[in-house]
Amino acid sequence: MWFFHFLTALLFTLHVGALPFEDNRLVNRDGPGHGGGGGVVGAVNDALDAGGSLTSAVITDSGLDSALNALPPAKQHTRRFGISYSPYGDDSACRTQEQVNHDMDKLKHYSFVRIYGVDCDQTKKVVNAARQRGLRVFAGVYDLQNFPASLDPIIQAAAGDWSTFHTISIGNELVNRGEASPAQIVNAVNTARTRLRAAGYHGPVVTVDTFNRLLDHPELCHVSDYCAANCHPFFDATQPAANAGVYVRDQARKISAAAGGKRTVITEAGWPKRGDANGKAVPSFGNHQRAIMALTHVYRDNPGDLVLFSAFNEKWKKDSPGTFHAEKWWGIESR
């Protein structure tokens, strides 16, 4: 309870007011950034590094909004959760090595960075920057269009030193998008594992898909070295932001049960700051904070099983009614 009492005392001292309640409206405002390792994630990291724990009261108490406002800035050395990252500018241009270095400076308090493909020479750029900052890289092949040749940029980026690599994924939501069958994915993962082992990589090889597709097709888990699931409670209209952590944890448990007890890593989970409401799931800066706090609380004892989505707002993405015009606004840090 020490962390909750600390927050209560700090609130009394600073007279920090609660965030306004957000109802089911379009909320088109962005809050202050979390750059430099601050914000909710950093504060949770600091509490964990100090040997403490976060109580459920921090998540469920009516003073949550004020507690969020009172969280102290993070230290740069904290290393806990994973974070997803895309190396594109607002205009979709590839970010340069210097720009990627700048981005990794903002992300070095995370444990590892997840990237999705090999375009823009991103594997080499991110690996170069990560090695200098003590980060690990969850690399990937986005689709099967140029597979298995698309493994070559990953092998070349390693240059014989695989110590920086956390995981290598083959495909992101390909079954969910109807771009590949489960059987095709199984074959691709096996092919990739054989080729990567021959190149000296002995870490995890997985395929990433949505949690419901993994439940439908447990063979995607069986072929992977662990189950790798994207899970966004925002797209379930029954889920408020404060329940994000419990929702994601429950889906992960279902996936593991369907796969015979295999470990499940959530490879994407977050909440948008802008967009249209989806029932009880309302995008706003305050709800973004609530969801991230709920996620990091639930995964406080196994932070390596959670990849937060996403590092920065992704303004290069296209708005879509199907995703509630929220695609651009999931960023946790600020550039």
Cβ partners under 8 Å of residue 331, min gap 6: 273, 310, 311, 312, 313, 314
> Which residues, listed in sequence order, are joined to residue 238 by a DSSP beta bridge?
none
With 80 as the cut, is the pLDDT of residue 27 above it?
no
What does pTM read for this prediction?
0.81
**Residue 292: pLDDT band by 50, 70, 90 thresholds?**
very high
Between these two residues, 310 and 46, which has the higher pLDDT value?
310
pLDDT for residue 19: 36
Percent of the chain at pLDDT above 90? Answer: 75
Strands 165-172 and 136-141: parallel
**Does 10 map to a domain?**
no
**Does 8 map to a domain?**
no
**Does 126 map to a domain?**
yes
Residue 164 maps to which CATH number? 3.20.20.80
Mean pLDDT of 233-262: 98
pLDDT for residue 66: 52
* Of the listed ranges 49-58, 261-270, 323-332, the one predicted with least confidence: 49-58
15, exposed or middle or buried, with CB in 10 Å at 0-12, 13-18, 19+?
exposed
Q: How many domains does the chain have?
A: 1
With 70 as the cut, is the pLDDT of residue 316 above it?
yes
Q: Are 80 and 110 in contact (CB under 8 A)?
A: yes
pLDDT for residue 15: 32
Cβ partners under 8 Å of residue 144, min gap 6: 170, 171, 174, 179, 180, 184, 188
**Does 153 map to a domain?**
yes
With 70 as the cut, is the pLDDT of residue 16 above it?
no
Strands 27-28 and 274-275: antiparallel
Distance CA(28)–CA(131), nearest Å, equals 37
**Does 46 map to a domain?**
no
Range of the domain at 258: 80-323
pLDDT for residue 319: 87
DSSP H/E element including 207: strand 205-210
**Does 30 map to a domain?**
no
Cα 8 → chain centroid: 29
What is the tens place of the pLDDT at every residue in 138-188?
999 999 999 999 999 999 999 999 999 999 999 999 999 999 999 999 999
**Residue 41: pLDDT band by 50, 70, 90 thresholds?**
low
Distance CA(316)–CA(263), nearest Å, equals 33
Mean pLDDT of 59-83: 51
**Does 96 map to a domain?**
yes
Number of residues assigned to the chain:
335
pLDDT for residue 42: 53
Closest listed residue to residue 247, CA positions, set 328, 318, 172, 306? 306
Residue 89 structure tokens = 């500018």
DSSP H/E element including 67: helix 64-70
Q: Catalytic amino acids?
A: 268
**Does 334 map to a domain?**
no
